Amino acid sequence: MIDFEPVKFLIVDDDEVSVIKIKRAIAKAKLGNPVRVANDGIEALEILRGDGGQEKITPPYIVTLDINMPRMDGHEFLQEIRNDTRLKNVLVFVLTTSSNEADIRAAYDRNVAGYILKENSESDLIDKINMIENFSNLVVLPK
Partner 1 sequence: MQRFVEINETLFENQFAQRQTEQKIREVATHLMRATTQFEDFIDKLLIRATTIILTNSSKIGAGQVIVPDERNVFLIFAGEVEVLNSLKSDVIDISNIVQSDLADFENSKSGGFADKLRFRVRSITQSLTLLQQSETRSELAKLATQINESLTAPAGYIDLQNEAQKAKRDFDELKGDQAVAVNDIDAKVEQIVFEATGSFETDIILAADLTRIIMGIGISTSLFVLSAIFLLDRNVVRNQISRRFTTMTEDILTISKGDYSHSIRVHGRDELGDIAHALDVFKNQAAELERSNAELERFAYVAAHDLRSPLDAIQDLARWTLEDERDSLSASCIENLELLIKRSSRLSALQADLLTYAQVGEMDTSVKPLFLKDEIEKISDMLDPESHYHITLENDPGEIVTYNLPLRQILINLITNAIKHHDRSSGRITVKFSRGGGQLKFVVEDDGPGIEPRFQGQIFELFKTLQSRDRVEGSGLGLALVTKVVERLGGKILVQSDAPQERGTRFVFEITDFSEESEVSRAA
Closest Cα to residue 10, out of 26, 125, 2? 26
Min CB(8)–partner 1 separation in Å: 24
Min CB(23)–partner 1 separation in Å: 11
Min CB(17)–partner 1 separation in Å: 4
For partner 1, which is the closer residue by CB, 96 or 136?
96
Min CB(97)–partner 1 separation in Å: 6
For partner 1, the binding residues (CB under 8 A) are: 15, 17-18, 20-21, 24, 68, 97-98, 120, 122
Min CB(99)–partner 1 separation in Å: 9
For partner 1, which is the closer residue by CB, 14 or 80?
14
Scanning the chain, the segments in alpha helix (DSSP H) are 16-28, 41-49, 74-82, 101-109, 122-138
For partner 1, which is the closer residue by CB, 45 or 125?
125
Burial code of 10-25, b = ≥16 C-beta within 10 A, e = fewer? bbbbbeeebbebbeeb
Cβ–Cβ under 8 Å, residues 63 and 37: no
Q: Which residues pair with 92 in a beta bridge?
A: 63
